[in-house]
Chain A
């Protein structure tokens, strides 16, 4: 067999059609499923590698996020620990080249949790919130994803317990693809946890959430990769009339994370809330982009993103609010606050407003400041050592944001934040 080039001349990973067919067959997808992938492959081949001139790529070199092995990569990791799947509460394990693995609670949850593109309905819905043409990494994931799951909450179904999706970065290349569909009036919380991995491992993921009429969906994205892991994650929601969406992002681990998260409000009365907690240390790089696109009127969106950085870590945040012509009486708010705990930490924050209609209410705010030494001194005078005092202030800084998260997931998030704070280096 002829040597296949892994990278095109411009540095794009090459994805072969035959290899895609094989992956699709191994995963047991339908004809329509394969056709969906091949259509995405065409899009991918026309997508150039993001240029650093494009403003969303000013802060991250896409080369740092690309897999180092040929695509599509579908080898299940060899060193997958046996007991990754917990038995308390509904949980699903996503591993490259395998069908999603459900625990008993997930099977009994009343949701349909199934391998992606096994049902022709999937092919119709996949790409609704995150089209393959949404960008280079979106198209790459669409063509070559290797760990997929479809979650359907039927109309009127309300699941109190969060559904956990566990996405370890144990394989060299993990390309998770998640489709969540909440039918009319359904209520659902999905906690997507990215963890584990080792040096050079890459994760390129796409999650789509289709929030039906009057449905209430919460999505919590936890990124706590081990050192050496980098990736690009996208979470995109589409909200119908009177639906509500809450997207929570906790970005804590890994070397580099580029995250795009947001929602399109396509039905009247829809609302979306995005919350972010980012804790950086060492030489970590975080690049977050949020978007809220108001397509229908009488819609509401809010963003509260908190970033605390120490040592040489860096964060950039770009936030786009777009209000379309046909979306009067929309309300959109956005705030990004950055706490800089060392002189060499750096935060950039760029809000963008594109408002194409009158009669809207919008605001945005951004701050980047060092910790207030008077707060630290106050706590010190109560016997609390400096490092602990700083951690307490940082905990408080993010707590005012986490306080808005529902009980069912808040305690878990607070524990993760506390654990991460404990490992942040001096300066904290």
Chain B
């Protein structure tokens, strides 16, 4: 067994910059996270605060210059290519999954599973796993032949993200607003998927804008993210408080704290 005190996932003083001409803009301004095995954390923050940028930077998106350190099971991953991070067990559920016309869902899923396992998935086994996943997430069978995310509704895209998480079995899953744009039925299905994936040997970071999904997925820790920083960390009650009082309340408090 690994050292119990070592987080499954952590990042230290993570900063992400975008280049625009000769200038750079800092979007993520120093984020620290420590997530233990078996935990689910929620990262909540208003639109535009930099949550998606943080998620993309953690995964190694080439558009950002990133400073700071990222560890998975104690191993540094910040120098690795995105596909290497994925093979080590990191997963990003996209807020806006990208369409890849001409590449079928089935071919894509099989390629991704093969990459994660480091060897081809036999066709029969793959078919069975995919079909089970489709059923679990209420996705019609004919999606296997459809082009990846091409012409999918918002809800269909999000279900497919969760399906991928279940098939790829990441050790650390970042889910970027997987709950937004879902009707209540879809939200329940997606939440069930998240709960199903959660296990003692993995960790999940739910990035969200609303408290809604937290009625179904119980986080162990809640972080409030504003203007590129984690401004507060607490237990599940923090999410409830945010829901009742909004983000402005924290914004007021933190700027007051900064002044004093």
Interface residues of A (CB under 8 A from B): 372-375, 377-386, 388-389, 392-393, 395-400, 403
Contacts and interface: CB of A to CB of B under 8 A. Distances in A.
B238 to A, nearest CB: 29
Contacts of B99: 375
Nearest to A402: B102
A375 B98 contact: yes
Given A373-B62, A378-B94, A378-B97, A385 B81 contact: yes
A363 to B, nearest CB: 20
Interface string B100-124: 1111000010011001100000000
Contacts of A398: 102
B87 A395 contact: no
A397 B101 contact: yes
Given A380-B82, A383-B116, A395 B103 contact: yes
Contacts of A393: 100, 103
The listed residue with most A CB atoms (<10 A of its CB), out of B90, B92, B97, is: B92
Contact of B100 (A375, A380, A385, A388): A375
B70 interface: no
Please report whether the interface of chain A is mostly helix, strand, loop or mixed according to DSSP: helix
Interface in B122-161: 147-148
B102 A377 contact: no
A378 B87 contact: no
A378 B100 contact: yes
Contacts of A377: 56, 59, 61-62, 82, 98
Nearest to A397: B102
Interface of B: 56, 59-63, 81-83, 85-87, 90-92, 94, 97-103, 108, 111-112, 115-116, 147-148, 164, 168
Given A378-B97, A382-B168, A399 B83 contact: no
Contact of A378 (B98, B111, B147): B98
A311 to B, nearest CB: 20
Q: Which of B60, B86, B100, B115 has the largest count of A CB atoms less than 10 A from its CB?
A: B100
Contact of B112 (A374, A383, A400): A383
B100 A379 contact: yes
B98 A372 contact: yes
Nearest to A393: B100
Nearest to A379: B100
B112 A382 contact: yes
Given A373-B62, A373-B63, A380 B102 contact: no
A399 B94 contact: no
A384 B168 CA distance: 12
Nearest to B109: A382
A2 to B, nearest CB: 60
A91 B217 CA distance: 63
B130 to A, nearest CB: 14
A104 to B, nearest CB: 35
Contacts of B103: 392-393, 395-396, 399
Given A377-B61, A383-B86, A395 B102 contact: yes
A377 B57 CA distance: 11
Nearest to B93: A381
Given A377-B61, A378-B94, 13 more contacts: A374-B98, A377-B56, A378-B100, A380-B81, A381-B82, A381-B83, A381-B91, A382-B108, A382-B115, A383-B112, A384-B111, A386-B81, A392-B111
Contact of A399 (B87, B97, B102, B111): B102
A338 to B, nearest CB: 15
Nearest first, the 9 closest Cβ-Cβ pairs linking A and B are A396-B102, A383-B115, A399-B102, A382-B112, A380-B82, A396-B103, A383-B86, A378-B98, A400-B102
